[in-house]
Amino acid sequence: MLKKIQSLIFLGRFFILHLFKRVFFVLKKDSSATFLNHYAGDHIFALSQDDKKLLMTASACYACKLCDNVCPKANDAQHNLPSFVVLSQSRLLTDLHRSPNDCPEGCHQCDLACPVQIPIRSLIDWIKDHQNIASISSQ
Ligand code: SF4
Ligand code: SF4
Gap from CA of 82 to ligand 1 centroid (Å): 7
Mean pLDDT of 83-111: 84
Please check whether residue 86 is in contact with residue 123, taking contact to mean a CB–CB distance below 8 angstroms.
Answer: yes
d(CA 110, CA 102): 14
Candidate of 120, 122, 126, 128 to mutate for ligand 1, largest count of ligand atoms within 8 Å of Cβ? 120
Say whether pLDDT at 133 is over 90: no
Q: Which domains does the chain have, with CATH numbers?
A: 2-137 (1.10.1060)
Say whether pLDDT at 90 is over 90: no
Mean pLDDT of 66-83: 94
Residue-level pLDDT at 136 = 43
Stronger pLDDT, 135 or 5, i.e. the higher one: 5
pLDDT band at 135 (very low <50, low <70, confident <90, very high): very low
pLDDT band at 28 (very low <50, low <70, confident <90, very high): low
Say whether pLDDT at 49 is over 50: yes
In angstroms, the Cα distances linking 100 to 8, 35, 46, 120, 130 are 61, 26, 20, 13, 10
pTM of the model: 0.73
Residue-level pLDDT at 29 = 62
Pocket flag, ligand 2, residue 46 (CB < 6 Å): no
Say whether pLDDT at 81 is over 90: yes
